[in-house]
Amino acid sequence: MSSTTIQNVERFTLDVPYRPRCGYHLSREIPHWGVTEICKVTLSSGVVGHGETIVNYTWGRVSDESVERVKGKNPFDLLWDDSLGAGLQMAVWDAAGREAGVPCHRLMGRKVRDWAPISWWCIDMPPADWVAECQDALGEGYMSVKVKGRPWFDILDQVDAIHRALPRNFKIDVDFNGTLNDAGRAIPVLQELDRCPNVTMYESPINQGDVEGNKLIRAHIKNAIAHHYGWPPIMTALREQVCDGFVIGGGAAGVVHQGTVAATAEKPFWLQLVGTGLTTTFAMHLGAVLTHARWPAITCLNIYSDDLLAAPLEIQAGQARVPGKPGLGIEVDEAAFQKFRVTPPVDKSPGPRVYSVVWEGGRRVRYGACRGYYNDFTAGNQPVFERGVTLEVWEDDGSAGFRQWRERLKDGPIRDDHLDGRTPAAAAKPAGRKAASPRRK
């Protein structure tokens, strides 16, 4: 083993813009995923490794204590220490691989694939925007998309739009995050989705802790169900057969352990490690050695306007080539680091808006924040996945009507039929959307 030690750790923050179409919709709920902390580890030999932490969405942030703890240590002794945090652990892996002259996957285990499956990712959007996203995905080498199914959009219209515009072998996985609420409401919706040949999988249709409900759903639908590993406890999930496979993420040690358990149970899974090109590459190395990482990985690479890499990853037919050079096997784009560098904290909060959920027949409920309608639906206060429902967004246009609505909504959601007909005309119009996004370099 090398006697090289970690000499220095640098950390700096970037604010990486989203692609315009993604950014417009992501600003409703997750405007902050573009904030990434870069870790740069320098070894006593002069070798440098890089990693990143999406600071507002990660399995573990990097602490000052972790940074001080690794200094002077042999990087090979730290590879499986998940307590380091995402970016620091990744940078240690990159540096160790470069020091040893081998790609990270050689240090992780026996390689079982040269190309790892990968999927495009979309938050909830109107049907036309989902179609545009999927067309971009197909053009960039992807063959599947994971979309967010939400009860304030008509999921059947959304999926049908993709089916009509994309080839039959372009696959759709729908992530409900429990928003179907219970088995009784979930089964009819999922059975309708089963009829679409593009749809292949459902993630967390209802609360994963509802063991009996999930078993009932699985017995009544055709497509596969994916659950986040560990909830309910893994032995319960396997014994009760609540799902067909898993979503696995976290640090290297945890991912390999969970992936090994899933493989022992003959359960496929996808890796879910969110970030730019750095995180995506790390996920590909893990996917190269985990036999049952057969479902397409979710890294959300496609939401970013820049991958932070000097050369893009090679993606063809829904798979990414696993790099074969030492470490992560990529070179970072130092110019991009300088371009997007910012001083934390970074405030990404959107401006004031009025959100309206609108049903066929004209019933409308307005909210002052996206969390308001999310909580209203998940609490069972609104009908789940009705046909014809849609979401409209009214951005601050400086008008008196907008200010009036914002004031009214401070006390909670408002239904139109509670307002004696006093409805500002502009409020009924959906907000305009920005132009389609450019292709990633």
pLDDT tens per residue, range 248-282: 999 999 999 999 999 999 999 999 999 999 999 99
Rg (CA), the chain: 23
Distance CA 43, CA 384 (A): 54
% residues pLDDT > 70 (the chain): 94
User: In the numeric block, which tokens belong to residue 42?
Assistant: 């320098």
Q: What CA–CA distances, in Å, run from 309 to 62, 334, 403?
A: 22, 8, 44
Instruction: Please report which confidence band the pLDDT of residue 322 belongs to, taking 50, 70 and 90 as the band edges.
Output: very high
**Which class for 114: exposed (0-12), middle (13-18), buried (19 or more C-beta within 10 A)?**
exposed
Tens-place pLDDT, residues 62-85 = 999 999 999 999 999 999 999 999
CA atoms within 13 A on the CB side of 237: 23
Domains of the chain, start order: 6-101 (3.30.390.10), 115-341 (3.20.20.120), 353-428 (no CATH)
Q: Mean pLDDT of all residues in the chain?
A: 93
Return the H-helix or E-strand segment holding 254: helix 252-264
- Residue 189 — φ and ψ, nearest 5°? -65, -45
- Residue 420 — φ and ψ, nearest 5°? 55, 35
Tens-place pLDDT, residues 79-112 = 999 999 999 999 999 999 999 999 999 999 999 9
